Amino acid sequence: MLRTMTVTGLVTGFTILIAGVFIVTSLSDDLYSSRRDQALQDSARATLAAQGQIDASERGSLSTLSATVRATVQDTSSSQMVYLRRQPGQPAYPEAPAASRTNDMLPDAVTAELSAAVVAGDEPQLWQAVTFVGDDGVPFPGIIVASTLTFPAGAGDYDLFIGYSLADTQETLAFMQRTLLVAAAVMMAFIGILVWIISRIVFRPIRAAADTSRRLAAGEANARMPLQNDVHLDMLSEGFNNMADTLQSRIQELDQLSEMQQRFVSDVSHELRTPLTTIRLASEMLEAGTQGLAPGQQRAIEVLGTQVERFESLLEDLLEISRYDAGHVTLETEPTNMVSLVEEVTESLRPLSPSAIEVHAAGGYSPIDVDPRRMRRIVSNLIGNAIEHGEGETIHVSIDSNATSVAVCVRDSGIGMSEEQTEHVFDRFWRADPSRKRTLGGTGLGLAIAQEDAAVHGGLLEVWSRAGEGTNFRLTVPRGDAVRSFVSPLQLIPDGYVSTETDRVVTSRWLRRPARLIRKDKRQ
């Protein structure tokens, strides 16, 4: 709309400018031509009257003839600027009348070219546009008309210059220019208002479509585009509304399907707990009575116990994921020393790790309010992932803090991941290399749950990885709910590495907030 008004204004302004220049130029030429013709006619009449006065004069009256001629010219013309002088180059004649003038402007304005042309006598009447300077020093335009008068006896020929002021013509032209400028300004304003009104009418359907699409994108499923009382625009509105109806129905179907899927996972997980408990009790009874059994039978009972534990872990992870999907999350926060928590988790996993695990605590000793169970689960998943893929190299666990956050990094120097693999590292049941043997078991949901646990605390779980050089996970948790913006105190890209185009950094994001997030402070 602004672009349309701007283009229209520029085109209209250019058109008005061209028309105004043409009108002013035409009027100026017409006024000047009319005033010039009037001056020539007036000068010719005054010249004839003056020459008649000279022809009727007596020979003895040459001394007063010049004054009489000047008075005759003033009486018969509309101008009071008269200059009479004897033509140069004539024989000396003592009794010839001296040059006379009515004011000092006219002699100063006569140019040498005009004087030479009058002496040449090619035309009976000559004129020239000049600029007069008044007594107040203000210049104004004018015309000088020159002709020749012949005095009797030996006085010879005299040049008659009559000056005509065009100041009134200039004022008329200036008034017309001001009038045209005012008219152009009024016309521009009127056209601007008209274009603005028409643009609003024309762009109303576009604004309605943009507003409706914006509301739909914001989640207002019932937003629809109103009819515009125009056949073609109403067709557009109906098509847009039909598309919105289709999208709404598909979204509802997907929501229902997602709800059913979540309910199914939750119900199945709950229903499996009862038979699983029975199987676990039977397995424990079998393990208690393995004495006297064959080695193959003892191995079978051991495998049964191991798989029952893995099954229980899978069910627990599925239940936790279903709680996040359903939005039923309960945080039991308490002041927690992250350094102590990380060291505790590390000590519990050391016996299971073929790799050395080193803890570097540069900060993080002051307690922060978090759910310690979920924090232990995040750190355990990250260290367990490093054990699985660390290839026996030393695992470095770093902890640090600043005024707004606490961060934990788990760095391994194992096989690492490619860019494509790094993009899926937080996906459920995804494995970078499905053929690899699991050292600590696992369900394929560990990093997905860790992502949810970090996000529900308002934190971030990020990963940097490079194939053949290892992986670095960074957990950053803000110091309380009041912190809205924070910077992690630990680097995601390890020291000694320079970020390249092949590197891939993935940050977990909380795309959906739980419908019901309950925080319980154990201190209360």
Q: pLDDT tens, 225-273?
A: 888 777 777 888 888 888 888 888 888 888 787 777 767 766 776 677 7
298-339 pLDDT, tens digit per residue, is 788 877 877 777 777 777 777 777 777 766 777 888 999 999
Cα separation of 365 and 362, whole Å? Answer: 9
Q: How confident is the model at residue 519 (pLDDT cuts 50, 70, 90)?
A: low
Torsion of Cα atoms, 416 then 421 then 424 then 427, to 10°: -60
Average pLDDT over residues 462-472: 89
Q: Three-state SS for 522? A: coil
Long-range (24+ apart) CB contacts under 8 A made by 224-232 are 228/204, 230/205
Q: What is the number of residues in the chain?
A: 524
Residues 299 and 418 in one domain: no
Mean pLDDT of the chain: 82
Question: What is the residue whose two structure tokens read 């080695």?
Answer: 295
Residues 37 and 110 in one domain: yes
Residues 94 and 67 in one domain: yes
Domain boundary among 278, 297, 326: 326
Question: Per the domain annotation, does 203 fall within a domain?
Answer: no
User: Which domain, by its residues, includes 296?
Assistant: 224-326
Residue 519 phi, psi (nearest 5):
-110, 125
Q: If you average pLDDT over each of 120-129, 284-293, 431-440, 467-476, which comes out highest?
A: 467-476
Average pLDDT over residues 196-219: 81
Domain boundary among 326, 350, 368: 326
Asked whether residue 284 carries a pLDDT value surpassing 60, the answer given is yes
Asked whether residue 296 carries a pLDDT value surpassing 90, the answer given is no
Asked whether residue 471 carries a pLDDT value surpassing 60, the answer given is yes
Average pLDDT over residues 275-302: 78
Question: What is the residue whose two structure tokens read 């350094």?
Answer: 339
Torsion of Cα atoms, 412 then 417 then 418 then 421, to 10°: -140
Cα separation of 513 and 419, whole Å? Answer: 28
Cα separation of 478 and 481, whole Å? Answer: 7
Q: Which range (134-138, 400-404, 411-415, 505-509) has the least confidence?
A: 505-509
Cα separation of 44 and 56, whole Å? Answer: 18
- Domains: count for the chain: 3
* CATH code for the domain in which residue 133 is found: 3.30.450.20
At residue 516, the pLDDT reads 45
Residues 9 and 145 in one domain: yes
Q: Three-state SS for 16? A: helix
- Using DSSP, how many helices (H) and how many strands (E) does the chain show? 11, 14
**Contact yes or no for 437/371 (Cβ under 8 A):** no
Residues 115 and 29 in one domain: yes
Residues 340 and 321 in one domain: no
At residue 432, the pLDDT reads 62
Q: Which amino acid is at 250?
A: R
**Contact yes or no for 413/393 (Cβ under 8 A):** yes
At residue 522, the pLDDT reads 55
Question: Per the domain annotation, does 185 fall within a domain?
Answer: no
**Contact yes or no for 467/483 (Cβ under 8 A):** no
| Cα separations in angstroms, 103 against 3, 78, 83, 135, 353 | 61, 15, 8, 10, 120
At residue 462, the pLDDT reads 92
32-62 pLDDT, tens digit per residue, is 898 889 999 999 999 898 888 888 776 556 6
Residues 281 and 398 in one domain: no
Asked whether residue 109 carries a pLDDT value surpassing 60, the answer given is yes
Q: Which two tokens stand for residue 231?
A: 């056949």
Average pLDDT over residues 63-82: 84
Q: Among 271, 331, 353, which residue's Cα sits nearest to residue 456?
A: 331
Residues 260 and 292 in one domain: yes
Asked whether residue 469 carries a pLDDT value surpassing 90, the answer given is no
Helix 295-326, helix 446-456: angle, nearest 10? 30
At residue 63, the pLDDT reads 65
Cα separation of 475 and 364, whole Å? Answer: 12
At residue 509, the pLDDT reads 47
354-413 pLDDT, tens digit per residue, is 889 999 999 989 999 999 998 998 999 899 889 888 888 899 999 999 999 999 999 998
Q: Which range (43-57, 117-131, 487-501) has the least confidence?
A: 487-501
At residue 258, the pLDDT reads 72
Residues 322 and 370 in one domain: no
Q: Three-state SS for 328? A: strand
Q: Which two tokens stand for residue 53?
A: 């006065």
Residues 496 and 372 in one domain: yes
Average pLDDT over residues 164-182: 88
Asked whether residue 505 carries a pLDDT value surpassing 70, the answer given is no
Q: 465 exposed, middle or buried (CB, 10 Å; 0-12, 13-18, 19+)?
A: buried
